[in-house]
A and B are shown apart, each in its own frame.
Chain A
């Protein structure tokens, strides 16, 4: 509480002061200048326009924006800055007109600003303060840590400007705030060595693709570059520091995903150039059930920073139980004596600062006296220069295991870790498959389709039909007269048609023959007999008693008499045309015979 009370109050002024100025105010054609607009208000309270209107000759692009709390003596005052990049290819005096923004819902006028573009600007005009973003590599792999250098050069007079709230802006970057370093060193600028403020930060790209990143920060200088136009009558106190938002040119990163091919066991995301030292055991003489600590040192041999390393997972080895002592191993600086060794030949002196070591600790418990060496622990890293995975498996250490006080749960441990069981394969996302594989018309299974019951019904219908057909066939086999009568009916109808045609054609001979045939086939099933073997009396026997000697009997006799005479008689038969008028009587006889079938 006392710490909170001791902090200066944040004072948000009732009157918003706005400044707008070009830095530098005079540039050559094509040279870039920055339009810096600053307000003493919280950034969240400012409704800033999307586009900034200006003369058509000026190319205006939005730049960085940010907020800082400025110490004003007793209180802290917010200061929000917006930068624009301005460039003109034609000389002249250009003015960005004043415009109105809303701060806390109230309109505030941003004053106009002037820039002069001339071929020979005066030598007294100081160049604009800019940051320089230095990246050792811009072609990266996903997860590869990179150390960025944000450089703010001092003035030739030896004045060093500080940098507050330096940051990297860009999508998909993970900044390692634990690995920030800042220093001041002499660096050449325009042929003169000047004190330069250098801010180092490590970042890791977390998404693949083209990423644009730039640096920004507030300088704590005393200088005011160029004329300042303000809408407030209150003068700017000359003694207070002026916080100026400066930025660097954007840098484009090409971030590629790690290749899936060739990934080795024990890969936990380590990228760079690493070396594993010899594993160290607390003691080489062990007892069954007694834990022992295994320590392994991983050294950075590359020119990139040693990012946070994750321990390789403990292996499942027969006869051993292995635990990770600490899930995360912080990076330690490399001891000085190793810096001069052969670990990092040919690297610049500055790269030595990124060196470091990481220590992995494991706890191992021997479960049997048969163990003669510690199990190897798979570990690998990805080398971005060689674009391949490198095996750094932690080797075995020979040990002597003596009998000891076995733990109570040794049996269960041995059961869950049998000697013959291979360790579980490490899970990893498999790559793309090259073929479409098994296809289907739909994800819906067939039994959910409307046609499926019909398809299943088809065999049922077929089997039912077969069964019915077989049953009928067996019935007819037991009752053959049904088939005889059916055939007789068909033959009778056929002969009937023939005799009708003959009657229409007035062909008495065919008419008589067809009539006799019809009577024979209609009577044949009743005897049974071949139709051609029947004679007239056979037909008469099937007629009712009264009909035999009536008209029907006479018709039968006349037709048989004519056909018998034609076939067997020695004399010429009577005229067959005389029988044609008997068609109606013949039809009645045939109907009677058909009814008996």
Chain B
């Protein structure tokens, strides 16, 4: 019979290995204040901090020890390979013609830290493996992070031309949201709003006469805010855009295995997520509305699926 502590250690370890998201959370340099300069957790520093915080009681010491042990597999995995090292390993495998290995390694690098270049290369590797849907999804995610990535944009056009696929049908505010990285719009909207509010309020509070430049900055801030709102909304609606991953994916009438197939979708065909039910998602393509299996549809922003439905 395993001791309780060892049992918990094993359970946490298996959880971390089975759930890439959990690994990502543990490894993200922004999650912990005790991260090193290279962006990885320093176990000793983090463990000692926990111990110092709880050292006055025996219970606290036991909890800190348990947390330290639980973090051990996480930190050992983190020190095994950095996103940069995985990126280089993937590029080496790609140049050697081992596209399956390259895709696997690029994907690991992206799980540790999403990067536009890694997503671009992942798309290339998937394209070489003839996984059109996964390749288009990866290139779209590269543009999602960095719309200035011309290589990914060119590859998307190339793939869509070759596979005779359409690009997602975007509304005007969604097109505007593609001009800058998606994370920028929220900051631009917030900063411009508060800049306008500040320029309107602060001169009075600080007993200063409202100068022309105060009002000009406030007006510019308000204008930028109003202009960024449509893009902000566009990012929100683009969260539901995804791509069919497998070729000849049946679009079902109902979310059941025996459901009648309305049509069959090509890999890489764009669609919008409407809602989720069980292992099926309701998507709307340019042609039809229907259900596909969850694994057959990949969202540009994968977290959205949990909120949908």
Contact = CB atoms under 8 A, between A and B. Distances in A.
A-B interaction:
yes
Interface of A: 208-209, 255-257, 427-448, 452, 455-456, 459-460, 463, 466-467, 469-470
Contacts of A436: 83-84, 87, 109, 115-118
A459 B155 CA distance: 42
B158 A443 contact: no
Contact of B181 (A438, A452, A466): A438
B158 A441 contact: no
Nearest to A257: B97
B116 A443 contact: no
Interface in B159-190: 159, 161, 181-183, 185-187, 190
A208 B91 CA distance: 16
B80 interface: no
A434 B120 CA distance: 10
Nearest to A466: B205
The DSSP consensus for interface residues of chain A is loop
B232 A447 contact: yes
B69 to A, nearest CB: 26
B2 interface: no
Contact of A432 (B84, B114, B124, B236): B124
Contacts of A427: 154, 157-158, 161
B239 interface: yes
Contacts of A429: 124, 127, 155, 158-159
Interface residues of B, number: 60
Q: Which of A428, A437, A467 has the most CB of B within 10 A?
A: A437
B287 interface: no
Given A429-B127, A430-B154, A466 B201 contact: yes
Given A436-B115, A448-B307, 7 more contacts: A432-B121, A437-B142, A439-B145, A443-B301, A445-B235, A445-B301, A470-B205
Contact of A443 (B127, B149, B300): B300
Contact of A437 (B116, B154, B186, B201): B116
B155 A432 contact: no
Given A427-B161, A433-B151, A470-B205, A442 B114 contact: yes
Given A256-B97, A257-B97, A434-B91, A443 B84 contact: no
11 contacts: A255-B97, A257-B97, A433-B120, A436-B116, A437-B115, A439-B115, A446-B186, A447-B186, A459-B198, A463-B201, A470-B204
B94 interface: yes
B98 interface: yes
A584 B175 CA distance: 82
Q: Enumerate the 8 nearest inter-chain pairs by beta-carbon distance, A residue then B residue, closest first.
A: A437-B117, A437-B116, A436-B115, A208-B97, A438-B146, A430-B151, A427-B158, A459-B194
Given A427-B154, A432-B95, A436-B84, A441 B149 contact: no
B141 interface: yes
B113 interface: yes
Contacts of B301: 443-445, 448
Contacts of A467: 201, 205
B197 interface: yes
B182 A445 contact: yes
A226 B245 CA distance: 57
A443 B232 contact: no
Nearest to A445: B182
Contacts of A444: 301, 303
Contacts of B49: none
B91 A432 contact: yes
A209 B83 contact: no
A455 B187 CA distance: 10
Given A209-B98, A446-B187, A439 B114 contact: yes
Contacts of A448: 239, 301, 303-304, 307
B30 interface: yes
A407 to B, nearest CB: 28
A470 B239 CA distance: 42
Contacts of B235: 445, 447
Nearest to B147: A438
B30 A455 contact: no
B28 interface: yes
